Amino acid sequence: MSFSFSGKCPKKQPEKGGKMDERIVVPLDGSKVGEAALPYVEDLVSKLSPEVKIEVILLQVLSPESVPTVGGRAHAATPYTEREMEQIEKKATDYLNQAGEALRRKGVTVTARVAIGDASEEIVKAAEELNANMIAMSTHGRSGLSRWAFGSVTDRVLRREGRIPILVVRAPR
C-alpha cells in the first residue's frame, strides 16, 4: 500500500524489499486548533504501517518579529536577543517532542523541526527540502472579516505549493 497521487504529483515506486518511505510534514502553532491534524495523521499512519515506513516531521515556525514595547504614544519593537531566541526555540522543540509522543508510541519516527520566518514560506520550504509526500495541517476555520484581517497560513500554503498534496483539517469548534 502506498500514497498514489495524480496530476502534478509523481507516483512513488517501492524501494528494493518492497517497503516505501513516506514523509509527512505537520505544521503546529502550539494551539489545540493547530493540533487538529494529528489524529488524522495517526489514522493514516496506522492504515499504511507496516508496509510503509513513515516519518512525521512536526514543524513549528517562529516569527522573527520582536517583542512589542510601548513608550509614550509610539509603539516600537525590540528585537529578541540571541539568548531569548534560543529559549524560544528550545520551548518550541520541547512542545513538538511532546506533541509527537502518541505517534512515537506507535513506532513512528517523529522529528521535531523549528524554523524562523514567514510561516507559509517556511512550511513549503521544509516540505520541499525534506522531499515530503504530504503536508497535513489544520485551519482555524476563520471566515469573513476575521479571515481578511488575520489571513490564513493554510490559504497561503495552498497557494504556494503545487507539487505536494496537502491534507487540510478544519479544527473542531
* pLDDT single digits (tens) 84-112: 889 999 999 999 999 999 999 988 999 99
Would you say domain 20-67+76-170 falls under CATH 3.40.50.620? yes
Residue found by looking up cell 485551519 in the block? 139
The residue with greater pLDDT, 161 or 145, is: 161
Residue boundaries of the structural domains of the chain: 20-67+76-170
Would you say the pTM of this structure is higher than 0.75? yes
Examine the pLDDT at 82 and tell me if it is beyond 90: no
- Helix, strand or coil, per DSSP, at residue 38: helix
Answer yes or no: are the C-beta atoms of 8 and 42 closer than 8 Å. Answer: no
Examine the pLDDT at 33 and tell me if it is beyond 80: yes
- How large is the average pLDDT for residues 19-26? 85
pLDDT at 10: 42
Q: What are phi and psi of 62, to 5 degrees?
A: -95, 145
